[in-house]
């Protein structure tokens, strides 16, 4: 597997020279952030980003994300041009040597939290989701969520939510199928692997449909266009927010079939009600057995890209919540350590059997 790290470009307080110093770091996951959603990413912009990353001794092979325009999710007139632009962007990315594109099909909000600074017992802060807090919000009276307060003007958000009132899960599935049937052949021809990110959290929010929530949804998605280029970003933290999802079992099934192209490793502590908060990556700190999940990837022969996902904010670090340097660096080293231990154990068992 190839260890990577999310970087938000020149505006990111986390510097490439610091990421380069994390032991076992292979590459960077990033995107072109100054092109409006739905427009074509210029080759020059992609190459400039690639050259900046590679100048620090890091590979740049994974894009996170190329956003899908809301008009495609809604199935609106004009989506043909938007998907043509999307396909052109994929071809430009392939020209620049990119290999995997992460994306999502979540309506309106591509992640939802009720707190960005939940304080844990050790004094660190983390992202959290409280079901009761969400249920107390009346979308008609306005939605205020940390991290999204500035994303939409109130009138624009209400207009967008209104457009989704007649879009149920089956219609959203149909719109996703329409997208995949046009994009996957282009991606495959270009040598790009598409990797959809699951819903975060994996549950309906504000009446909006969510369709990438569990094992059954992942299987249905892969069958729409049953080609290797149509794959997954398997996010342990997003899917793991539902205590009924068995992440290690999903890894064994879908990585074993070569359909996981990108792995997000994040630990959460959850309950039956659906509340959760993010923790360190250690198995002991959250509800997910990260060692078992890593073993599942190893046993499946996973050779794709992996990154430590959201981390706590520790040691007084400030910046984008969940995306500080320190806890994610600890997470990367922890995950690499698990992998090394599993590999050594497997080698010893193989040697003993000979």
β-pairing verdict for 268-270 and 260-265: unpaired
> 17 exposed, middle or buried (CB, 10 Å; 0-12, 13-18, 19+)?
exposed
**Annotated catalytic, 281?**
no
- The pair of three-digit structure tokens given for residue 8, joined into one six-digit string: 């938000």
pLDDT given at position 157 = 84
User: 88 pLDDT exceeds 80?
Assistant: yes
DSSP 8-state assignment for residue 208: B
Q: How do residues 203-252 score in pLDDT, each as one tens digit?
A: 999 889 999 999 999 999 999 999 999 999 999 999 999 999 999 999 99
Mean pLDDT across 71-90: 97
**Annotated catalytic, 69?**
no
Out of 92, 199, 310, 334, pick the active-site residue: 310
Q: How do residues 308-339 score in pLDDT, each as one tens digit?
A: 999 999 999 998 999 999 999 999 999 999 99
What are the contacts of 175-181 at 24+ separation with CB within 8 A? 175/72, 175/73, 175/74, 175/75, 176/73, 176/105, 176/211, 176/221, 176/224, 177/224, 178/72, 178/75, 178/79, 179/68, 179/72, 179/83, 179/105, 180/221, 180/224, 180/225, 180/230, 181/224, 181/225
Out of 69, 92, 261, 264, pick the active-site residue: 264
Lowest mean pLDDT, pick from 56-60, 106-110, 140-144, 275-279: 140-144
Out of 164, 323, 327, 334, pick the active-site residue: 323
- Rounded distance between C-alpha atoms, residue 250 and residue 228, angstroms: 17
Q: How do residues 122-136 score in pLDDT, each as one tens digit?
A: 999 999 999 999 999
- How big is the chain by its Cα radius of gyration, in Å? 20
pTM: 0.95
Q: How do residues 30-51 score in pLDDT, each as one tens digit?
A: 999 999 999 999 999 999 999 9
pLDDT given at position 159 = 87
Query: In the predicted model, what is the mean pLDDT of the chain?
Result: 95
Out of 217, 275, 309, 327, pick the active-site residue: 309
**Annotated catalytic, 264?**
yes
- List phi, psi (to 5°) of 263: -120, 125
Distance of CA 17 to the CA centre of its chain: 24
- Rounded distance between C-alpha atoms, residue 53 and residue 96, angstroms: 13
**Annotated catalytic, 323?**
yes
pLDDT given at position 138 = 86
- List phi, psi (to 5°) of 265: -110, 115
Residue pointed to by tokens 């110093």: 21
Out of 69, 197, 261, 277, pick the active-site residue: 197
- The pair of three-digit structure tokens given for residue 308, joined into one six-digit string: 């430590």
Mean pLDDT across 172-177: 98
Give bridge partners of residue 102 from the DSSP assignment.
64, 195
Question: Hey, what domains does the chain have and what are their CATH numbers?
Answer: 2-353 (3.20.20.150)
Out of 235, 242, 297, 305, pick the active-site residue: 235
**Annotated catalytic, 235?**
yes
Mean pLDDT across 3-15: 96
pLDDT given at position 155 = 81
Residue pointed to by tokens 């149920």: 168
Q: What percent of the chain has pLDDT over 90?
A: 88
Residue 69 — very low, low, confident or very high, per pLDDT cuts 50/70/90?
A: very high
> 85 exposed, middle or buried (CB, 10 Å; 0-12, 13-18, 19+)?
middle
């Amino acid at each position: 597997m190839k260890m990577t790290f999310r970087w938000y470009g020149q505006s990111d307080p986390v510097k490439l020279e610091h990421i380069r110093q994390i032991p076992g770091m292979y590459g960077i996951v990033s995107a072109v952030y100054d092109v409006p959603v739905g427009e074509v990413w210029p080759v020059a912009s992609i190459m400039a980003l690639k050259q900046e990353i590679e100048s620090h001794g890091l590979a740049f092979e994974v894009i996170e994300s190329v956003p899908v325009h809301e008009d495609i999710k809604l199935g609106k007139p004009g989506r043909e041009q938007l998907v043509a632009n999307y396909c052109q962007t994929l071809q430009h990315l392939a020209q620049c040597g990119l290999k995997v594109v992460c994306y999502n099909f979540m309506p309106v909000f591509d992640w939802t939290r009720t707190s960005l600074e939940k304080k844990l017992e050790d004094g660190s802060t983390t992202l959290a989701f409280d079901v009761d807090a969400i249920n107390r919000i009346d979308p008609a009276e306005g939605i205020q969520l940390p991290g999204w307060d500035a994303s939409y003007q109130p009138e624009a958000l209400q207009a967008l939510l209104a457009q989704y009132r007649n879009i149920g899960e089956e219609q959203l599935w149909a719109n996703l199928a329409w997208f995949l049937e046009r994009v996957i052949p282009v991606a495959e021809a270009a040598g790009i692997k598409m990797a959809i990110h699951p819903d975060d959290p994996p549950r309906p929010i504000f009446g909006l449909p969510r369709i990438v929530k569990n094992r059954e949804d992942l299987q249905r998605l892969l069958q729409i266009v049953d080609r290797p280029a149509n794959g997954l970003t398997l996010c342990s933290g997003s899917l793991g927010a539902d205590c009924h999802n068995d992440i290690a079992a999903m890894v064994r099934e879908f990585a074993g079939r070569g359909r996981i192209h990108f792995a997000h490793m994040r630990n959460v502590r959850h309950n039956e009600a659906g509340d959760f908060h993010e923790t360190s990556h250690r198995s002991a700190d959250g509800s997910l057995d990260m060692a078992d999940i890593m073993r599942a990837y190893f046993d499946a022969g996973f050779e794709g890209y992996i990154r430590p996902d959201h981390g706590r904010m520790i040691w007084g670090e400030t910046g984008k919540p969940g995306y500080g340097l320190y806890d994610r660096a600890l997470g990367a080293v922890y995950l690499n350590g698990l992998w090394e231990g599993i590999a050594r154990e497997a080698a010893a068992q193989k040697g003993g059997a000979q």
